[in-house]
Every structure is written in C-alpha cells, then in structure tokens.
Chain A
C-alpha cells in the first residue's frame, strides 16, 4: 500500500469527521474514532471524490477499520487503472 494513498485516506477521514489529522492512523478502528453508519457513508462519498472512483455497496460491507478501507481502495484504484490501460 503506498504511503500517499494512506495519507490521503487519513486526511479525508479527518476532514469529513472534523477531527484532528493526528487522531487518525492506519491502525484506527472506526469505533475508536466514533464513526457511525452515516459518518461512514459521508467518508465513502468524500473518498469517491478524492480518488475519482465509484465504490460499490458490496465492497463496503464488513469493513470496520482504516486499514481495511485502504486495502479496499487500493484494489478499486488498481482496477480503474487497468481498466483505463486496456481501454475499458
């Protein structure tokens, strides 16, 4: 996972939830950060903007921490890049 991706995700979470950036780490659980279902939906919305991707609902289920979120995003970004290369 690239450091750039992680930093961008942490920033999106902090900005969206309006909490200091230093409180969010790659090891944070959503529960620790008080991220509820509506917060999560807002963060996903902001991440779609940040990375210019579409995050399907079924990719979101069961993700409960920042690391899981970054891993999921990495896959979606890679899929988008390979789609762009092959012209899809």
Chain B
C-alpha cells in the first residue's frame, strides 16, 4: 500500500474565496454566519446562513460557460482550480487518462431546480429551461471538473447527505493508496440556499434562530452554509520525488451505518466509524491530538458525538482538543466534510487548532475540550475529521502532520 500525500488545497465558503483567506478566518475564530441575502427570509423562522457573500460567476466564468453551471458546480470548479494550481502538478496525457475525480454533493443544483419548479407550479408555465437537468444533477461538479482539466479517468459523485465529501475523499484516498490512480481531485460542493430547500430545513426544526453554537449549552441548532473544498491527492513518494509541497498525509478512512433512525444519530454508529478510521490508519486512539467534530450545533448531534468520542477514546478524551468549525463556515451539507478536512489539514500544517466559535457556556452533556472561541497554538501529529450524516451514514478521515 502506498502512502497518500495531500499536495493541493482549494476552498470557497463564507470565510473566504481562497484557502489562505479561509485559514486566516479560522485562526481568527471569525464566523461567516450572517443574514441570508440570496433568498427573501421574511416568511421564515430563521434568517441566518453562511453564504459566499456577494458571489457572482463573473471573476471565475464568462457568461456563456456559466449558463451551464449551477452555483454548486461553479463552486466545485473554483475550488478544484485552486487545488490543482496549488499542487503544482503538470498534466501529461498519461496523467489526464488515469487521474480520478471524486466529489460529494447532498442536494445538487437546487437553485436551478427551484426556478424550474416555480416556472411550472407557481407561474403556470408549461415548460422549464432545457438546462434544468444537466445543471441540477449532483454529479455536475465532477463532470465540469473533468472538462476543465481534460481528465478522463474514473470520476464519480457520492450523495450521502452531510457525509458526502467524507465518503468522496475517503474513496479517493483508497484509490491512490491502492494504486488505482496516481492523482485524485476529491472534495465536495454545495449551494443549498433556495427557497424550497430552506423551507424544508425550516420544517425539520433543526435550524437555529440565531447562530450556530456547537457544544454550547445555549445551542439552538445548525446554520446552513455553502461552498466547496477540493484536495489533490497523490502518492507520497511521487510527491516527494517532484519536490511538491505536502500539506499533510491522509492515513485512514472509516465508514459505518447506524441502521437505527433516519434522522436521530446513534453514538454506537459514530463510534464504529471512528474505530474503523483508526484501524484503517493502524494507529491507537491515544495518538490522536485533535478532532474536527461533526458538531452541527443541534441538541441531538452534539450530545451523541460527545458520547461516541468518550466511548472510543476513554480517559484520553480529556487530552483531546475537539472543535466544530461549522460554527464559522456553517453546515455546508455535501461540502461540509471537505471544508472540514481542509480545516484539519491546516490545523496540522500550521500548528493552530481552529476554535468552536459563538461558544457561550459549557453543556455538561458535551464535556469535551472544544477550544471555545479562540484558536489554540498546538502542534498535533494525528487528527480526525468526523462526518455523521442524516440517514446514519458516517465517514471519518484520519490525517497526519508531515
């Protein structure tokens, strides 16, 4: 089995449109949660979200090409461009033929779909725009990345709700580790701010009326976010041989299914995914120094996740730093695990653990060291990034400082 290096990072979200801007915001503990601008929120019980403020396709795409990409696919391509440029890789014909693209998206092109449905249901039109299908499909991000770089190797998309990008990165990691491909672009993208989707989230009664306060006693739920993050993965030896900058190493991937409830999380299921990731990485729980939590800020998740972590790490839990960066970039659904994987890579690379922002007071049922409000300078060698999706499908990534 080959070791797997992360040599390229790309990200766009409420915290910034480049990885280094996102990194600076994470270090500063600065939240990107603000009043939602792209949808009229007057008929809603909540008003806040983590949007890419003032986004327009203009600096990234000419008008005609942009017509073919929903906002979520634009984010995917923007993050992939940054990751590929950052990796310094040059595409040869051989590399183009074998490189892989694995993306995650939960809801696909919702803004496009919403417009189509409004046309037929609300405006009474008898037709929708002909690009509705290709803009809505969840694999559009992967497809447009393949066209952007002329990559013709294995390319596909996972849709496992909030774990989508975790499953995508994990699968790409295994493909590089096992010699299926010598390069993978992996991550996730999402743009869920459509009237219809926001109404559906409102009906779930899990969205906070103020902000996202993971693990805090006053937490009132999650805050939706949007954006994308992509990573370039390649074999460690090849990366070293070409003198690439290696941000971190991916060392393990664990998955599980709760098999219990469609929305209520299970500590046992989360613990199984954590143990599977440790086993895949061949490391002991005591080695882990930092966990980027799923940490949605809902009543149920944060208690369940605490219990899962305590179950797996035992007494070592009290030496672990655990934070939820969803408090800053929001819950970007199918992009969440990718943004959080990038946050974890940055924590290892820079020796700065991102905080849990908006934290007010501890909840005895969430008795973890959650790095409240202020980033912490600490060198950590091994870290995990958790994703526990609705539907009980869990993905945990294990990473190592290089």
- Residues of chain A whose beta carbon lies under 8 Å from any beta carbon of chain B: 36-38, 41, 44-45, 54, 56-58, 60
- How many residue pairs link A and B with beta carbons under 8 A? The number is 23
Extra pairs beyond A41-B203, A60-B205 (8, CB < 8 Å) = A38-B261, A38-B262, A38-B264, A41-B204, A41-B205, A45-B203, A54-B45, A57-B205
Given contacts A57-B220, A60-B205, contact A37 B45 (CB under 8 A): no
CB distance from A72 to the nearest CB of B (A): 14
When the two chains form their complex, are residues A57 and B204 in contact, meaning their CB atoms are under 8 A apart? no
Task: Report the bound CA distance from A57 to B204 in whole Å.
Answer: 10
Interface secondary structure of B, over-half rule: loop
Task: Report the bound CA distance from A15 to B150 in whole Å.
Answer: 55
CB distance from A38 to the nearest CB of B (A): 5
Instruction: Name the one of A37, A44, A54, A60 contacting B300, with C-beta atoms under 8 angstroms.
Output: A37
Closest to B298 in A: A37
- Chain B residue numbers with a CB within 8 Å of A45 are 203
Task: Report the bound CA distance from A37 to B205 in whole Å.
Answer: 10
Task: Report the bound CA distance from A41 to B300 in whole Å.
Answer: 14
Whether B374 is near chain A, meaning CB under 8 Å from some CB there, is no
Given contacts A56-B45, A57-B45, A57-B220, contact A37 B209 (CB under 8 A): no
When the two chains form their complex, are residues A37 and B203 in contact, meaning their CB atoms are under 8 A apart? no
- Chain B residue numbers with a CB within 8 Å of A58 are 209
When the two chains form their complex, are residues A38 and B45 in contact, meaning their CB atoms are under 8 A apart? no
CB distance from B42 to the nearest CB of A (A): 13
Task: Report the bound CA distance from A70 to B55 in whole Å.
Answer: 46
Instruction: Name the one of B209, B220, B221, B263 contacting A38, with C-beta atoms under 8 angstroms.
Output: B263
- Chain A residue numbers with a CB within 8 Å of B203 are 41, 45
Interface secondary structure of A, over-half rule: helix
Task: Report the bound CA distance from A64 to B300 in whole Å.
Answer: 16
Task: Report the bound CA distance from A22 to B220 in whole Å.
Answer: 35
- Chain A residue numbers with a CB within 8 Å of B262 are 38
- Chain B residue numbers with a CB within 8 Å of A36 are 261, 264
CB distance from A43 to the nearest CB of B (A): 11
- Chain B residue numbers with a CB within 8 Å of A44 are 205
- Chain A residue numbers with a CB within 8 Å of B261 are 36, 38
CB distance from A41 to the nearest CB of B (A): 5
Instruction: Name the one of A37, A54, A57, A60 contacting B263, with C-beta atoms under 8 angstroms.
Output: A37
Task: Report the bound CA distance from A41 to B204 in whole Å.
Answer: 6
- Chain A residue numbers with a CB within 8 Å of B220 are 57
Binary per-residue interface labels of chain B (222-234) against chain A in the complex, 1 for a CB within 8 Å, 0 otherwise:
0000000000000
Return 21 A-B CB contacts under 8 Å, by A number.
Answer: A36-B261, A36-B264, A37-B263, A37-B264, A37-B300, A38-B261, A38-B262, A38-B264, A41-B203, A41-B204, A41-B205, A44-B205, A45-B203, A54-B45, A57-B45, A57-B205, A57-B209, A57-B220, A57-B221, A58-B209, A60-B205
Binary per-residue interface labels of chain B (171-210) against chain A in the complex, 1 for a CB within 8 Å, 0 otherwise:
0000000000000000000000000000000011100010
Task: Report the bound CA distance from A44 to B203 in whole Å.
Answer: 9
Task: Report the bound CA distance from A56 to B262 in whole Å.
Answer: 24
Task: Report the bound CA distance from A7 to B205 in whole Å.
Answer: 25
Binary per-residue interface labels of chain B (37-65) against chain A in the complex, 1 for a CB within 8 Å, 0 otherwise:
00000000100000000000000000000
